[in-house]
Each structure stands twice: as structure tokens, then as C-alpha cells.
Amino acid sequence: MRLTVDTAVDHVILYGEALAPMNEALRRLGFHTPDGKFYMFSRDYLECLTPDAGVAAKLGRKCDFFPGPSGLHSLIFWSDDADASYAALTKAGYKMAVPVMETTRAVDAGGRKGTAVFRASIFDQSLFPFGESMFVQHTTPDLVYIPGEDLHPNGVDAIEELYLYIPDEEKAMATRDLLQRTEDLIRCGHPLHPCINRLSISDQWESEFGVSLDPERSSVCGIRFSCRDFEKTRAVLASCGYPITEKEGGLVADLSQELNLFFYFKP
């Protein structure tokens, strides 16, 4: 069984009990970060946080989505109009933890430095098991995305797909339907933004990718990356020290013990 959602996920967050082990795992896979938190790609990105540093914690909410020690727990959806997304969601009966709020962060990527500005809101209830969900509108996207540059020694260009592991078929279908309905409300008729545009749900990832996963630790269990230079990818993975297998012209790195994730690299 494989279910898919056509969606626009702007970025994802890896939560861990400490940043250092997550950064070490990503470094060994050939990813680069200027600050130990953000891994920027051409049209999306990956963020690393500890639970006490996330949005939920800053709002005084319990991070009960995080059973530890680390995993991918947060999906942040792209919005072209945060106010319209919020209005559509609340009209449809969704409960939001806060109204649309403005937030900023310093950026340093691709030689560009500045202060990025975002408008965002967080869902009161998660859209998938062991997760938190938000949407964000960029008001300074030129400071955030770095197209056309080789930022990582492994030649990766962007995140293309996320894999959710939900063993119960009925729950998997309900999750798919909820995620698609939510995405449609957030989008408010705008075209699908080119960021992370596919979520796939299955209970067969272990056999398909040859990895061992724990659905009680996190439900987002895999990431597929596209690569600008696959020879760089192959060279880095050959010396990373993690189990690497070939799959359909790509390479699978098994970080199930470290992050409860597999990384699938494709040309």
C-alpha cells in the first residue's frame, strides 16, 4: 500500500535531544550548515532543533510529539498568503494555536547575509502521528533560497519527497486525506509551489528500502533528495560509515539507529 499527497512543504525540522549528534550524522553524509541549525537547498531546507528551542516550546506547549532521542517531527507548509490560509483553515473548523504571527531569523547562506521575515501559524493538533504542523509565508524569500549554487559537498540540490510510515491502513488513509485537505485549504487556490511536493505514506518502507524503522519513534521515516552532481554524492557516501545500498539508480543511506530515517539520494 502506498498513498500520496500532493503538497507544498517549505521545510522540515529534525528534533533531537542534542544538536551535535544530528549535525555529525548530516556532516558525514556530506551536508553543510553555516550555523549548526539550517541546511539550505535550492527551494527547501532542513532545520535541526532541540524540543526546548522549537515554536511549540516558545508558545509554552508540551512537545509530546517527541519521544526521543531524535527524528523528523515537524512539517512546515508553504503559504502564499498567511492571512488567507488562516481564515480558510479556521472557517473549515481547524483549531490554530496562535493567530498569524511574524517571526524573523538571521540568515547566512550562499554568501548572503540578512534577516529573513516570515508570517506563520501553528496547528493546535498535529496532522500526523508524532508530529507538529505549521504553515509559513516568506516575505523575504530571496534571502532564504539558494538556487543554482553547490552548497553541499555531497552535490545535493533539494528535498523532493518525504516518506511517512503508518502501519495501520485505516489510519494511513485518514492521515492522507487530512494532509491533502489541509494542503488545499492552505493553498487557497494558488498554484502548487515548487518546494517539497510529495508526501508518500506506506507500511512497506522497510522491505522496499532495506532498512529497520521504529514507527513508535517518529512517523516521517525517510527523505528523497535530488542531486546536481551524483558523482559527488557517490564519493561522499562511500566514506560516510553508514550502511549504503543501491536502489533504482540511486543510493540509500540507513540512519535508522541515529535518526530513525533513511536518506534516498537520486540523480
Q: Record the pTM.
A: 0.95
Backbone angles phi, psi at 195, to 5 degrees: -125, -115
Per-residue pLDDT tens for 132-185? 999 999 998 888 886 666 789 999 999 999 999 999 999 999 999 999 999 999
Q: Which pLDDT tens digit goes with each residue over 183-222?
A: 999 999 999 999 999 999 999 999 999 999 999 999 999 9
pLDDT in the model for residue 266: 98
Task: Check pLDDT > 80 for residue 55.
Answer: no
Scan for cell 490560509, then name that residue.
85
Count CB neighbours of 240 within 10 A. 17
Query: Which cell is 41 given?
Result: 537547498
Return the beta strands (E) in 57-181 as ranges: 70-78, 101-109, 112-122, 132-138, 156-165
**What pLDDT is recorded for position 148?**
63
All cell numbers assigned to 44: 527547501
Look at residue 54 and tell me whether its pLDDT is greater than 80: no
Pull the grid cell for residue 60. Answer: 509554552
Omega before residue 69 within 30° of 0, cis: yes
Reported as a pLDDT band with limits 50, 70 and 90, residue 109 is: low
Find all residues with CB under 8 Å of 147, minimum gap 6, and list them: 42, 43
Q: Nearest Cα to 58, choosing from 143, 120, 147?
A: 120
Mean pLDDT, residues 109-123: 85
Number of H helices, E strands in the chain: 8, 13
